[in-house]
Amino acid sequence: MLAVTAREAAFFLPLVVPICLYVCWSDLSMMKITNIAVLALLAVYVVLGPFALEMSDYIWRYSHLAVVLIAAMLLFAVGAMGAGDAKFAAAAAPFIALADLRLILLLFAACLLASYAAHRLARATPLRRLAPDWQSWEAGRRFPMGLPLSATLVFYLALGLVGA
């Protein structure tokens, strides 16, 4: 049983999806998650959160942002994560109910594996010609984490919408 409700998902999902699509595109094409996308995602939570959540949950979830931001900054400091990825993960954290932490970790793992496999397959096939200028093709070992991070948030909210 998910802790995220259909009501929360219905409020958040319509605005989160276009932001996440933009994050996927920008990270694949430029290997950057822009500050404007991160701020837009945070703005969705700030503005819609009081309508989607109980006020105590709404306020409590700002602690998710702080915890993820600190952890992500540490990962960035040791070179394990990009700055845009860290900021995006922190901005996405308030959308996640703490009770769904296990689910979100499993969902992220699945999205990461699927994204990595799809990106590497596309890079090695003629599909690459559809977007020949994407910087992610030539990024070597670096991987555009905006793709699995965005997919995780969208799938999580979509599961909440359908009441899975």
pLDDT digits (tens, 9 = 90+) for 12-45: 999 999 999 999 999 999 999 999 999 999 999 9
1, part of any domain: no
Q: What does the pLDDT read at residue 164? A: 66
For residue 33, what are the contacts with CB-CB under 8 A and spacing of at least 6?
23, 26, 27, 82, 84, 85, 87, 88, 146
Number of domains in the chain: 1
109, part of any domain: yes
Per-residue pLDDT of the chain (164 residues; tens, 9 = 90+): 899 999 999 999 999 999 999 999 999 999 999 999 999 999 999 999 999 999 999 999 999 999 999 999 999 999 999 999 999 999 999 999 999 999 999 999 999 999 999 999 999 999 899 999 999 999 888 999 999 999 999 999 999 999 86
The one-character DSSP state at 63 is H
Cα(157)–Cα(99) distance, integer angstroms? 14
Instruction: Name the residue range of residue 11's domain.
Output: 6-162
pTM: 0.95
47, part of any domain: yes
21, part of any domain: yes
